[in-house]
Structure 1
Amino acid sequence: MIQAHWFPWINQVNRDSLKADLFAALTGASLAIPQGIAFAAIAGLPPQYGFYCAIVAPIITVLLGSSWHMVCGPTTAISALLYSALHDQFPVGSDIYIQAVITLTFIAGIIQLILALGGFGIVSQFVSHSVMAGFITGAAILIIFSQLDSALQIKANRPDNLFHYFLELPDHLVLTNHYALAVSVVTVCSALLIKYLNRRLPHYLLALILGALFSTYINRDGGNVVTLERLPSMIPSFSLPNLSTGLVGDIFPSALAIALVGLLEATSIAKAISLKTNQKIQVNREFLGQGVSNLIGSFFSSYMSSGSFTRSGINVESGAKTPIAVILMSLFLVGLLPIVAPIFIYVPVASIASIIMLVGWRLFAFKEIKHYWRHSKQETAVLWVTLIGTLCFSMEIGLYIGVSLSICLFLKRSMQPVVKTIAPMSNEQGRFFHNAKRYELNTCPQVHFFSIEGAVFFGSLEHIEQKMVSLIRREGEKPYWIINGNDMTDFDEHGIHFLNSMIERHKASGGNVAWIMRSRWKLDKCEQYKLFDAIGKENVYPAKQGALGAIIPTLDIGVCEQCQCPIFTECPKKRSFRANQ
């Protein structure tokens, strides 16, 4: 039972899958080395903390989550958020700063775990993709400029306010170390060329090696290009987070924002990968994996992790079959680090910074910006408001602004269900009812055929009434109403009371109403709220044909005979025409 629920992939492990997983693990481990260094630098942490995160997080998340192929660990957005949240409160890179990062990871893990156990996976659906696109693009811009000082070996501060940053930047640029600039250019060009020649090669790692060789060569001629310091132990050790009341209180708001971003990042990546692997993703299990991973990881010096799109994509492209690939990836990283650690002292800081800038450039959501610009003004507004908020205020505030705007637009759409008159269109496949106004269809002079699509609740009643009054005013008063309720998604007692009032007013003026509804639970709810007392149960039909068949024989035959465009197959004029053929 436990295996079937948590580890169904075990039955698929065989010789061929192990071979494929082994190759994917080696490929992923080689990528984790430059990423660990780069992302730790973005977070303001020593490089080894990036490795701790890349070792601990993947194993826990792949065992507890539902995605077999998603690789978790340090990510660009989370690292940038950590720096943004903490650098004003604590000296970057200091012991207290590192303690704050680990404590924030612990708190964020608890928040994620609570959301998972409470079944709040649905929360992720309230944050639109446009919010994440704007947030990630804003983060990418901040990341690129945050590394400019290291790439050029100047003393510019990391950008908290881009306006002030750009004002001060020209004074710093004149002090550029041209040797460091050359190393940065060589590193970026090497990474791009290697990826162009063979996408499966670890282009970041090879580019760092080439940058280190070039830096070593020019430093002999007095280039004075700064390199990394010698790294301590590569294996994470057990330690307790600092849970002092003052520290927890200071960082809790940031932990909440970062926990949310981590969950959204992980679930969106898991869903994106599932499109290639045809695997069913359970959002609450992904929440659980992220929460437990960050909670346990904080006891092993692992900072906040989430799903890595790059490593996850390479894991799939390398042919990984089961979660064993992700587990082996962490184990291989443990084995590789002691071997490669001695050469880290030759890696120039400029190379690391240029790789980070390249990663930041690739985060730009160009495709999403273009798509939303063409297809949705609302989503375009959400994207740009989030992006500008991220750049002008802070990453957390930008995210909150974007989420708030996204929820407001969601509520607005919920409060504005589609109310339209429909009319039939026939083709070789049969008869279908469509929006009469949009398709310029003729309507019956005696029947208003309404369709309501969406929720009928207290917040949408004013909009529904305005739309129905507008439609009646446009087409004129008609004695018969047919209301199609099959597309109503939900309704409350206020909504039913409102419909009752409108129907009773229409019947009091001599009109008649037919109701179309097929769903059993909707019918039960309508009956519970006594909607059918006003309509009459005999006027409730499961389909349009039944309602038309009942109402049309009761129409004024004189009006029907003068009608120049009978639109229903049930119309007397059409029946008469067919009978004479």
Structure 2
Amino acid sequence: MSKLIDKFFPFLLWWPMVGRHTLKADLLAGLTGAVIVLPQGVAFATIAGLPPQYGLYTAMVTPIIAALFGSSRHLVSGPTTAISIVVFSSLSGHAEPGSAEFVQLALTLTFLAGVYQFAFGVARLGTLVNFVSHTVVIGFTAGAAILIATSQMQHVLGIHVPSGESFAHVWMDLFTHLEQLDPRVFGVAMFTLIVAVLFKRFLPAWPNLLLGMIAGSLLALGLGGEAAGLAMIGEIPGHLPPLSSPDFSLTAIRELAPQAFAVALLGLIEAVSISRAIAAKSHQQIDGNQEFIGQGLSNMVGSFFSSYAGSGSFTRSGINYAAGAKTPLSAIFAAISLMIIVLLIAPLMAYLPIAAMGGIILLVAYNLIDFQHIKKILQISRSETAILLVTFFATLFLHLEFAIYLGVLLSLVIFLSRTSTPEVITLAPDPTMPKHSLINVEKKPLAQCPQLKIIRIDMSIYFGSLTNIQRLLNRISDEEGINHILIVSSGINFIDLAGAEMLVQENQRLMQRGGGLYFTDNKSRVCQFLRKGHFLQEIGEDHFFATKQEAISHIFGKLNHKICARCDKRIFKECETVPQEEPVSSLHPEPKEG
């Protein structure tokens, strides 16, 4: 009963940790997070095509629900750049960005994404995220960063670009109308960016994005503000998130369901990967299924409080951990602190130039690109490079949700390709070792028995790998003439139905040739499956052994001892029981010359 309660109310697990010491640490971490998310929330909402206040609403509601129903003690949820650009890409074709209809669609998209995430968690599909290559996330994020920067170039340069244009057309328009560049707009954007970079470089503890925005606003006022042609964001409503309602019509659900799935998948990848990255430092166990449920509930509830799709933020979560947060209360304190800050300073946002926001977003986009990992991928792995480049270019030139699916599909294809070619190692006993331990013959050249082949398969035997394994077994019997094959199964984690049927077939083929297929060091899970499917009986229980020595001793009794008598390898201890015939040359010595 207690486990069931903990599942539905996971915050009861960490609530006993709360005390005077943790409250102080969490409050300080929360205040730091609130200052960080203030400029980020405005920037991310702008990227998503929503009014700026919706980014702040998301940062007020989403972290509270995710903290209460997730599993990580340090994950801070809210608006993120990657999801913001997917929201914009998914909805810009359905409605004008910033319009009431666009906002309504964004809320519906958020609710549907939350339903997907919650359903995945309830169905205990948390391990699915493990099959998404981290390279996909790196490639997608790098592509999204380029798209984010591209979307802000018109605000940075002061050049008008028609809305809804593709990545390539935007840059064509920018270069075609470069003479329209407004030096004041460009100056404000660059000044904002440079100030933010300098504060990050020399005073990293200070809120560099917020200070950069303040510096850009002061410069814009000095240049004449709106009177000089510098557009402002406008005043943000200074109140808490208002109630809202997604559109539950069948038409809206049918239109947005595919895009919502992409948002849900990306959000889960972000949240779980960030949780695990920080948990590696904090030595905390992360429950992927519970994290799915927490993210799903945060988006579902958030859609009724004017919040758009959110996920875990690496920047804010990392700062939360570094600031000394002890429990998820830090994320809740960050949300409450942000509410108080917004109520106090919302009117000042009217003096924030769009050019300054563009400069900040350029910096955010640059920081999204993981240059270190990209360089490493390009240097060490062709397959990972292919995943990276395909995902990156698909993000730039195709629909973003399709780019995510394509990257995930490609990573799965390469994963299946790798596992379909198992590593098979040939073993032989080393006579120099006390117990004649079996050694990889590629590491140490050892003599091998001409009648018994010993191999170790370091991969599961399933439908994807059985063709290669069957081809190997055929080659051993046909080309090497060895029909007794012992498989050391310590590296086989599971065998599926197709794999078991193949082993039965191969054993029958070898037995017809006077040999057989034998197994040792089998894992209990594999044995239980083979026994349950009656494959153990079909192969023969006398073909399965607990130890290598027991297997070799039994198989040796089935070998052709006439061949053993003439063999000069004598690699097994049992070989000593068979008298060795003297070479013909020693029985009939050739006459000496002279």
Residues 72-105 of structure 1 deviation map (CA, whole Å, 9 limit, x = unaligned): 0000011100100111210111111111111111
Q: Which moved more, 1:454-463 or 1:426-435?
A: 426-435
Q: Structure 1's 288 and 513: CA in aligned 2 closer, same or farther, altered over 3 A?
A: closer
The residue identity in structure 2 corresponding to 1:545 is Q
> Which of the numbers 326, 346, 352 marks the counterpart of 2:351?
346
Superposed displacement of residue 392, structure 1: 1.2
Distance of 1:233 and 1:132 partners within structure 2: 36
Q: Structure 1's 492 and 27: CA in aligned 2 closer, same or farther, altered over 3 A?
A: closer
Q: Structure 1's 517 and 184: CA in aligned 2 closer, same or farther, altered over 3 A?
A: same
Distance of 2:540 and 2:326 partners within structure 1: 60
Superposed displacement of residue 422, structure 1: 2.6
Superposed displacement of residue 431, structure 1: 6.7
Distance of 1:32 and 1:428 partners within structure 2: 63
Question: Does 2:363 match 1:358?
Answer: yes
Q: How does 1:94-243 map to 2 (within 5 A)?
A: 94-157=99-162, 160-219=165-224, 223-243=228-248
Question: Which residue does 1:481 correspond to in 2?
Answer: 485
Superposed displacement of residue 570, structure 1: 6.0
Distance of 2:535 and 2:348 partners within structure 1: 77
Distance of 1:360 and 1:140 partners within structure 2: 5
The residue identity in structure 1 corresponding to 2:127 is I
Q: Structure 1's 570 and 76: CA in aligned 2 closer, same or farther, altered over 3 A?
A: farther
Distance of 1:570 and 1:165 partners within structure 2: 78
Distance of 2:467 and 2:225 partners within structure 1: 77
Superposed displacement of residue 65, structure 1: 0.1
Q: Structure 1's 104 and 550: CA in aligned 2 closer, same or farther, altered over 3 A?
A: same
Superposed displacement of residue 400, structure 1: 1.3
Question: Does 2:275 match 1:270?
Answer: yes
Question: Which residue does 1:501 correspond to in 2?
Answer: 505
Question: Does 2:281 match 1:279?
Answer: no
Task: Tell me how many residue pairs correspond in the alignment.
Answer: 575
Question: Does 2:576 match 1:572?
Answer: yes
Superposed displacement of residue 548, structure 1: 2.2
Question: Which residue does 2:43 correspond to in 1?
Answer: 38
Residues 80-131 of structure 1 deviation map (CA, whole Å, 9 limit, x = unaligned): 0010011121011111111111111111111211222122222222221111
Distance of 2:415 and 2:267 partners within structure 1: 22
Question: Does 2:247 match 1:247?
Answer: no
The residue identity in structure 2 corresponding to 1:86 is L
> Which of the numbers 542, 557, 563 marks the counterpart of 2:546?
542
Distance of 1:189 and 1:331 partners within structure 2: 31
Question: Which residue does 2:300 correspond to in 1?
Answer: 295
Distance of 2:108 and 2:525 partners within structure 1: 48
Question: Which residue does 2:373 correspond to in 1?
Answer: 368
Q: How does 1:426-445 map to 2 (within 5 A)?
A: 433=438, 435-437=440-442, 441-445=446-450
The residue identity in structure 1 corresponding to 2:409 is S
Q: Which moved more, 1:364-373 or 1:271-280?
A: 364-373
Question: Which residue does 1:307 correspond to in 2?
Answer: 312
Residues 445-481 of structure 1 deviation map (CA, whole Å, 9 limit, x = unaligned): 221112233333344332221122234456x112532
| TM-score, structure 1 as length reference | 0.92
Residues 33-89 of structure 1 deviation map (CA, whole Å, 9 limit, x = unaligned): 100110000001111101100000000000000001100000001110010011121
Question: Does 2:31 match 1:26?
Answer: yes
Distance of 1:221 and 1:162 partners within structure 2: 29
Distance of 1:396 and 1:429 partners within structure 2: 60
Distance of 2:280 and 2:390 partners within structure 1: 29
The residue identity in structure 2 corresponding to 1:527 is R
Q: Which moved more, 1:223-232 or 1:453-462?
A: 453-462
C-alpha contact 1:516 1:542 (8 A) present in aligned 2 = yes
Question: Which residue does 1:579 correspond to in 2?
Answer: none
Q: Structure 1's 63 and 169: CA in aligned 2 closer, same or farther, altered over 3 A?
A: same
Distance of 1:28 and 1:171 partners within structure 2: 42
Q: Structure 1's 421 and 43: CA in aligned 2 closer, same or farther, altered over 3 A?
A: same
Superposed displacement of residue 520, structure 1: 3.3
Distance of 2:450 and 2:475 partners within structure 1: 16
Question: Which residue does 1:395 correspond to in 2?
Answer: 400
Residues 533-571 of structure 1 deviation map (CA, whole Å, 9 limit, x = unaligned): 455433421121221233346655665576665555665
Q: Structure 1's 508 and 70: CA in aligned 2 closer, same or farther, altered over 3 A?
A: same
Distance of 1:153 and 1:426 partners within structure 2: 80
Distance of 1:91 and 1:429 partners within structure 2: 78
> Which of the numbers 488, 491, 496 marks the counterpart of 1:492?
496
> Which of the numbers 85, 89, 102 marks the counterpart of 1:84?
89
C-alpha contact 1:504 1:534 (8 A) present in aligned 2 = no
Distance of 1:23 and 1:449 partners within structure 2: 62
Give % identity: 37
C-alpha contact 2:487 2:520 (8 A) present in aligned 1 = yes
Question: Which residue does 1:9 correspond to in 2?
Answer: 14
Q: Structure 1's 573 and 411: CA in aligned 2 closer, same or farther, altered over 3 A?
A: same
The residue identity in structure 1 corresponding to 2:317 is S
3-state SS of paired residue (1:451): strand
3-state SS of paired residue (1:488): coil
Superposed displacement of residue 335, structure 1: 0.6
3-state SS of paired residue (1:489): coil
Distance of 1:397 and 1:569 partners within structure 2: 61
Superposed displacement of residue 284, structure 1: 0.9
Distance of 2:106 and 2:406 partners within structure 1: 24
Let me know the Cα RMSD of the aligned residues.
Answer: 2.7
Question: Which residue does 1:520 correspond to in 2?
Answer: 524
The residue identity in structure 1 corresponding to 2:132 is V
| TM-score, structure 2 as length reference | 0.90
Q: Structure 1's 568 and 341: CA in aligned 2 closer, same or farther, altered over 3 A?
A: farther
Question: Which residue does 2:416 correspond to in 1?
Answer: 411
Segments of structure 1 that go 5 or more residues without pairing to the other structure are: 577-581
Distance of 1:353 and 1:574 partners within structure 2: 85
C-alpha contact 2:83 2:263 (8 A) present in aligned 1 = yes
Segments of structure 2 that go 5 or more residues without pairing to the other structure are: 581-594
The residue identity in structure 1 corresponding to 2:85 is A
The residue identity in structure 2 corresponding to 1:325 is S
